[in-house]
Amino acid sequence: MWKYVVKRFFLMIPTLLGVAVFIFFLMRIVPGDIVELRFSGESSYASKENLAAERARFGLDKPLWRQFVTWMWGVVRLDFGTSMWTGAPILEEIKLRFALSLQLAIMATAVGVALALPLGVAAALKQDTWIDYVARMVSIAGIATPSFWLGILMILTLLVVFHWLPPMVYTPFWVNPWQNLLQLIWPALAVGYRLSAVVTRMTRSAMLEVLREDYIRTARAKGLVETLILKRHALKNAMLPVLTVTGIEFAFLMGGLVVTEQVFNLNGLGLLFVQAVARRDYTMTQALVLLVASVFIIVNFFMDLMYGWLDPRIRYR
Amino acid sequence: MRLPTAGRITIGLFLAAALAAPVPAVGQDKPRYGGELTFVVPSEPPSFDAHREETFGTIHPIAPHYNTLFRTDPTDNTGTKVVGDLAESWQFSKDMRTLTVKVRQGVKFHDGSVLTSKDVKASYDHIIFPPAGVASSRKGAYVVVEAIEVPDAQTVRFRLKWPEASFLSNLASPYNFIYQADKLAADPRWYEKNVMGTGPFKFVEYVKGSHWVGKKNPDYWDKGKPYLDGYRAIFMTSSSAMVAAVRGERAHAQFRGFSPSERDSIVQALGNKITVQESPWNCLILVAINHEKKPFGDRRVRKALTLALDRYEGSKALSRIAVVKDVGGIQVPGTPWATPPAELEKLAGYGKDIAANRAEAKRLLKEAGAENLSFTYKNRGVAMPYEPVAIWLIDQWRQIGITVRQEVVEAAAYYATLRGGDFEVAADFQCGFTVEPDLDIYKFQSASISHANYSRYEDKVLDDLYVKQARAVDAEERKKALRAFEKRLLDEEVRYIYTLQWHRIIPHSAKMRGWTITPSHYLNQQLDTVWLSE
Amino acid sequence: MAINVPFDAVELAAAQAARAGWWGTVKDFSHRRPLGAAGAAVVLLLIVVAFSANLIAPYDPERVDFGAMLVRPSAAHWLGTDAFGRDVLSRLIYGSRTALLVGFGAAVIGATAGAVLGVGSAFFGGRVDLYLQRVMDIFIAFPLIILALAIVAILGNTLPNLIMAITIPMIPRCAIVIRSSALSIREMPYVDAARAAGFGNGRIILRHMLPNVMAPYLIMLTSFLGQAILLEASLSFLGLGVQEPTAAWGLMLRGAAVDFAESAPWMAVFPGLAISLAVFAFNLFGDSLRDALDPKLRTL
């Protein structure tokens, strides 16, 4: 088992490194740069000397490999540098948005799982009945509906039917929980619905697989009560793939909610991301990509560990 | 509340019409002291030094902390009348090559030190003759300045290389904050991260991504002002959030501008709690035509492009859905140097008989051998109003048989595209801080003179006309030169195409008084004349 | 989740189909999987609409009509008009072309390229597999929207580039699924037997591995179809996808649709419905396809 853990752990490093190299060079291939954007402002002209001087200040005139090494050296010491657009330390900028994105991700996942588990289990138990069909249609609808469109509809409904708009400025949960929830419940619902769709399908198919297993038949033959079978055997074993999918979806929610954040005007990581790319803020984009990729890779790592622990066959791959 | 009744909208429009008229808002009631003004700003300041920044994101939250030497009269809704801010009085020499300014006495910086002419000189040196490593965005606007002298603590003298009619307007740029000489001497970049001026409000705090707060300066030199106790600028990026803030009465105003639909939704919700001020805006989208790409070097093709546009119908329709409205020439309609509409109609593309114009356009295309012309229009990646204007342009060009494909270039890559001439026809734009021909038509000179000439042409006639109007001391002479410039630019050679003038719409809380809209969203933001009625 | 489909299932299905004939298979499928059949029918309808757009659309989708701006659904304009007076219904109909073009283009290229990489990686194993796996991991860990943004920014804003921007993130995701499927085949003794018998690599891949990854390939393909359409909608909404004045569903949700959502909700509602319907149909069909091809789930 240890060999498996160590191997998986060390495999994370080349992946992260690869991501770092990729984003570094990708950003520099994309045309346009931040200096032009800053100085041209609302006229379409900026003087060449200003541009050159600013570029030098950011170190953009140095050879690429050198810029890369400087950046990586900082990353290794957990110094992500300063945002090229605002000049503030990147960790500070991210901290401002992190709480919101994290809270939204947690709320959406909670909403999703709360919807998905009962629906998926019910669909599996009553397979091919109308309950199953309805559950499947609802979950496919969740995957099919663009969540940003759902968001637009939500705001529209609130406005037209209830004549009310959710608060547009973020208040942290510990400052004013009511305001905070009032703002975040709507995007949580929109995103959570989609997440619930994915998890419902996984729950259903995992339950179906488990229910067919021999040990369930044995338990039934032994005369155990059905609910006990469900709880003690079926559900527990079905949870593994469900947990995996939930974990991956959660990882995706951190920084992946670009369009939803725009629709609900949330000052989150997704918006920061899009702004950073639009402004060609190299340092910010690089840091954010590393952050999001790390979350994803680490979540995957733990998923792999769980699988390896529970299914010994996997360890020997 | 169902969808708005016609009545509500009428009230809103009535208010809009009434307040669009040039009636100074100050002086109707007696100003009341007290209160905190809250307004939203769509953009954050990249740095605090207005000498190097080009965005209103620097002006809106920071201008109240500073004074400039000259400014435009806050009660003038054309934004062209220059008055003194820190300048008490001024005088040009007979040959118009020296400007002597008397600086106000008794002005204190927020740290208590006294303002002298030394500070004015240091600030302008910072703008016009910046030390190495310091970026100044407006250096190029003051090439006419030879030197700045301070004969005594109360006087500043600008010596010019040649007489320039627009020099005073130029000096009145809202970006020319007056800094303290000592701070600049110690560190020329100090003001990028610090705020310390002589203005009506003192700096309190700035929370990134959130807000900027200023409080009343009790020792302000203009006794009796400011009226407000303080102000709070809230940063928001999404326009729906800004609308919600004003609509929900959580903010009094947003000083850049709202779109027509946003204005309507605010007026619907708040009725007469909202005052709407509207004005032509000194911003517009230009169409740059790359003379170096075939067949756009042919004047007939360019002329066809402008003849195809039904500007008047476009104005009526687009003003409902976008922030564009007026049909204008090289100066914002209604300002001192603007061409009267009757004369404007004589220019290509400004005539009212669109059928005849389009027939002529088709004929010109045929003559130039460009009948089934098809090209790519490169547009700037900003939604409002670039998208609606592009859709309109493409549709209008379709009416004369031209097929146009739009390619949107992201804002960051856009300048490189323009500068590199990597386009056939592209959207260009211009936003001026004040309506002044020298500033507004500078870019149309030959490419060898104007680096912002993206149509990439050389035209000595235009260059000569520019100099002629810039040095003209007599108003009539200047007008003649401007008319000739306009005719050559837009009619004879069609170097650039003017689309529709943008339209500034500011719906603000009726409680906010003392603020007059101007064609520029950079002007009138010191907030010293603003007061809250409750 | 990888689905391991043994050799026999596809052959079994194919044999059944051969016996029942083409129409018989369709009838059988509709009877046993009504949802899937419904999905397939909607997909077919979409394809028909896309092909015959110029015949069935009542107006030119790009025709600007300033006299009819923001008209509500009425006899003249069944779904109303947008801020430029363009007929919403016509734009929806032509928009199906863009959706299907992008959807099928991205999905087919993405799934096929992914399958090739997956099979190759599984078959050749060793170093090749190791390196390819890492590269795939990197692409998957990379945030999807940012990758698409960057590709569009680099290559320029045209339809083929948009398809490429949507395809590229999909390739590795397909590759790892196909790879795990192909891996299980590689372990099977008959592959060794084939090699012992002297069959070349190409033949082994073509005749043995490919048919067995057919099922997961088809499933990934239908899943990608839906995802591609959603991704295109998101990118267009952000302003990085299809450009005006082309009609595209995601584009129709942008700008004026949101600005005028209160006074002219039809602009925002119908394109979203169209997107949801299309993706819904693709997913329904894909789901039923997976159920049909996976014997473990089939009988229950």
Residue A30's pLDDT band, with cuts at 50, 70 and 90, is confident
The verdict on B313 touching C (C-beta cutoff 8 Å) is yes
Name all chains with 3 or more CB-CB pairs below 8 Å to chain C. A, B
Nearest to C154 among A31, A205, A292 (CB): A31
User: From B521, which residue of chain A is nearest by alpha-carbon distance?
Assistant: A42
What CA–CA distance (Å, rounded) separates B299 from A139?
61
Provide mean pLDDT across the span A80-108.
86
| Chain B, nearest residue to A277 by Cα | B412
Q: Which positions ≥6 away from B402 have C-beta within 8 Å? A: B305, B308, B365, B373, B374, B375
Q: What is the 3-state secondary structure (H, E, C) of A38-100?
A: HHHCCCCCCCHHHHHHHHHHHCCCCCHHHHHHHHHHHHHCCCCCECCCCCCEHHHHHHHHHHH
Closest to B125 in 3D by CA, of B188, B48, B58: B188
| % of residues, chain A, pLDDT over 90 | 9
In three-state form (DSSP H/G/I as H, E/B as E, the rest C), the secondary structure along C178-223 is HHHHHHHHHCCHHHHHHHHCCCCHHHHHHHHHHHHHHHHHHHHHHH
Whether the ω angle into residue C216 lies within 30 degrees of 0, i.e. cis, is no
Average pLDDT of each block of 10 consecutive residues along chain C (300 residues)?
Answer: 48 58 68 79 92 90 89 90 92 92 92 89 82 87 84 84 90 85 72 74 72 78 87 85 87 82 86 92 82 53
pLDDT at residue number A142: 87
Query: Could you read off the pLDDT of B420-457 as tens digits, one per residue?
Result: 899 999 999 988 888 889 888 989 999 998 888 999 99
Residue A155's pLDDT is: 83
Q: How confident is the model at residue B2 (pLDDT cuts 50, 70, 90)?
A: very low
CA distances from C69 to B320, C152, C262 (A): 9, 32, 15
Chain B residues with CB under 8 Å of C60 CB are: none
Determine, for residues B3 and C244 on separate chains, whether the beta-carbon distance falls below 8 Å.
no
Could you tell me if C84 lies within 8 Å of chain B, comparing CB atoms? yes
Q: Hey, what amino acid is at C255?
A: G
pLDDT at position B17: 42
| Inter-chain touch B321–C262, beta carbons under 8 Å | no
DSSP-assigned letters across all residues of B329-377:
SSS-TTSTTPPPHHHHTTSTT--S-HHHHHHHHHHHHHHTT-TT-EEEE
d(CA B358, CA B352): 11
Are residues C69 and B259, on separate chains, in Cβ contact within 8 Å? no
The minimum CA-CA distance between B418 and chain C, rounded to whole Å, is: 15
Most confident segment among B61-70, B123-132, B329-338, B378-387: B61-70
- The answer to whether C280 faces chain A, any CB pair under 8 Å, is yes
Nearest by CB to residue C244, choosing from B240, B316, B390, is: B390
Q: Kindly list the residues from chain A whose CB atom is less than 8 angstroms away from the CB atom of residue B413.
A: 30-32
Would you call C154 an interface residue with chain A, using a CB distance cutoff of 8 Å?
Answer: yes
Q: Quick one: which H or E segment has residue B406?
A: strand B403-409
Give the span between the Cα atoms of C144 and C152, in whole angstroms: 13
Identify from A12, A143, A297 which residue to disrupt to test chain C contact, counting C C-beta atoms within 10 A and taking the largest count.
Answer: A143
Chain A residue numbers with beta carbons less than 8 Å from the beta carbon of B241 are 168-169, 265
Number of H helices, E strands in chain B: 16, 18
CB atoms within 10 A of CB B289: 26
B321 — contact with chain C (CB < 8 Å)?
A: yes
Cα distance between residue B283 and residue B79, in whole Å: 13
Q: How many CB atoms lie within 10 A of CB A39?
A: 22
Comparing CB atoms, the residue among C137, C226, C287 nearest residue A15 is C137
User: Mind listing the pLDDT tens digit for each residue in C243-259?
Assistant: 888 889 988 988 777 77
Span of A22-26, A93-97, B524-528 with lowest mean pLDDT: A93-97
Question: B150 CA to chain A: closest CA distance, Å?
Answer: 28
Which residues fall within 8 angstroms of residue B459, CB to CB, at 6 or more apart? B445, B446, B488, B493, B495
Please choose, from the candidates B291, B281, B341, B288, the residue with its C-alpha nearest in 3D space to the C-alpha of residue B500: B281
**Radius of gyration of chain B from its Cα atoms, rounded to whole angstroms:** 24
User: Which residue in C has a C-alpha nearest to residue B241's C-alpha?
Assistant: C259
- Decide: B198 and B107 in contact? Cβ < 8 Å: yes
pLDDT of residue B10: 42
pLDDT of residue A231: 67
Q: Is B359 on the interface with A (CB under 8 A)?
A: no
Q: Chain A residues with CB inside 8 Å of B193's CB?
A: 87
Element of type H or E holding C177: helix C159-186
Q: Give the mean pLDDT of B123-132.
A: 90
- B364 vs B301: CA distance, rounded Å: 7
* Angle at the Cα of A264 from the Cα atoms of A262 and A268, rounded to 5 degrees: 65
Which site among B395, B399, B417, B423 would you substitute to test the C interface, given the most C Cβ atoms closer than 10 Å to its Cβ? B395
Query: Which chain C residue lies closest to A241 (C-alpha atoms)?
Result: C1
Token couple for B361? 């356009």
* Mean pLDDT lowest among A217-221, B331-335, C232-236: A217-221
Which C residues in the span 114-133 are in contact with A, Cβ-Cβ below 8 Å? none
CB pairs under 8 A between B and C: 65
Chain B CB contacts of A34 below 8 Å: 412
Q: Where are the beta strands (DSSP E) in B236-366?
A: 253-254, 274-289
**Which residues 25-44 in chain C show a CB within 8 A of chain A?**
35
Of A208-212, B68-72, C12-16, which range is least confident?
C12-16
pLDDT score recorded for residue C15: 59
Is the CB of B406 less than 8 angstroms away from the CB of C260? no
SS3 string, chain A, reads CHHHHHHHHHHHHHHHHHHHHHHHHHHHHCCCCHHHHHHHCCCCCCCHHHHHHHHHHHCCCCCHHHHHHHHHHHHHCCCCCECCCCCCEHHHHHHHHHHHHHHHHHHHHHHHHHHHHHHHHHHHHCCCCHHHHHHHHHHHHHHHCCHHHHHHHHHHHHHHHHCCCCCCCCCCCCCCHHHHHHHHHHHHHHHHHHHHHHHHHHHHHHHHHHHCCHHHHHHHHHCCCHHHHHHHHHHHHHHHHHHHHHHHHHHHHHHHCHHHHHHHCCCCHHHHHHHHHHHCCHHHHHHHHHHHHHHHHHHHHHHHHHHHHHCHHHHCC
Residue B12, pLDDT above cutoff 50: no
Does the beta carbon of B533 lie under 8 angstroms from any beta carbon of chain C?
A: no
More confident residue, A165 or B142: B142
Q: Do C287 and A27 touch (CB under 8 A)?
A: no
B424 in reach of chain A (CB within 8 A):
no
Q: Are residues B415 and A280, on separate chains, in Cβ contact within 8 Å?
A: no
Contact between chains at C296 and A212 (C-beta distance less than 8 A): yes
Residues in A closer than 8 angstroms to C230, CB to CB, are 144, 146
Residue B276: partners with Cβ closer than 8 Å, 6 or more residues away: B12, B15, B16, B19, B263, B267, B505, B506, B507, B508
How many residues can be counted in chain A? 317
Say whether B233 sits in a helix, a strand or coil. Answer: strand
Of the candidates C144, C145, C262, the beta carbon closest to that of A160 is on C262
Residues from chain C that touch B240, judged by Cβ atoms under 8 A, are 258
- Chain C nearest-CA distance from A298, in A, is 10
pLDDT at residue C295, rounded to an integer: 53
The count of CB pairs under 8 A between chains A and B is 113
pLDDT bucket at B370, cuts 50 / 70 / 90: confident
For residue C68, what is the nearest residue in chain B, using CA coordinates? B317
Interface of B with C in 9-28 (CB under 8 A): none
User: Strand pairing partners for A89?
Assistant: A82
Structural contact between residues B494 and B508, judged by C-beta atoms closer than 8 angstroms: no
Cα B328 to Cα A228: distance, rounded to the nearest angstrom: 80
Which structure tokens are listed for B355?
Answer: 């059928």
Provide the b/e sequence for A289-315 (b: ≥16 CB within 10 Å): bbbbbbbbbebbbebbeebbeeeeeeb
Chain B adjacent subunits, 3+ CB pairs under 8 A:
A, C
The predicted structure's pLDDT at residue C14: 60
Q: Are strands B274-289 and B496-509 parallel, antiparallel or unpaired?
A: antiparallel
Q: Does B125 touch chain C (CB under 8 A)?
A: no
Check: CB of residue C300 under 8 Å from CB of residue A212.
yes
What residues contact residue C250 under an 8 Å CB cut-off, 6+ apart? Answer: A146, C232, C233, C234, C235, C236, C237, C241, C242, C271, C275
Which member of B135, B238, B283 has the closest CB to residue A53? B135
Q: How far apart are CA C232 and CA C224, in angstroms?
A: 12
pLDDT higher at B13 or A286: A286
pLDDT in tens, A240-281: 778 878 887 888 887 778 888 888 878 888 888 888 888 888
Neighbours of C206 (CB within 10 A): 13
Instruction: Concatenate the DSSP letters of all residues of B364-379 into one string.
Output: HHHHTT-TT-EEEEEE
**Across residues B296-323, what is the average pLDDT?**
93
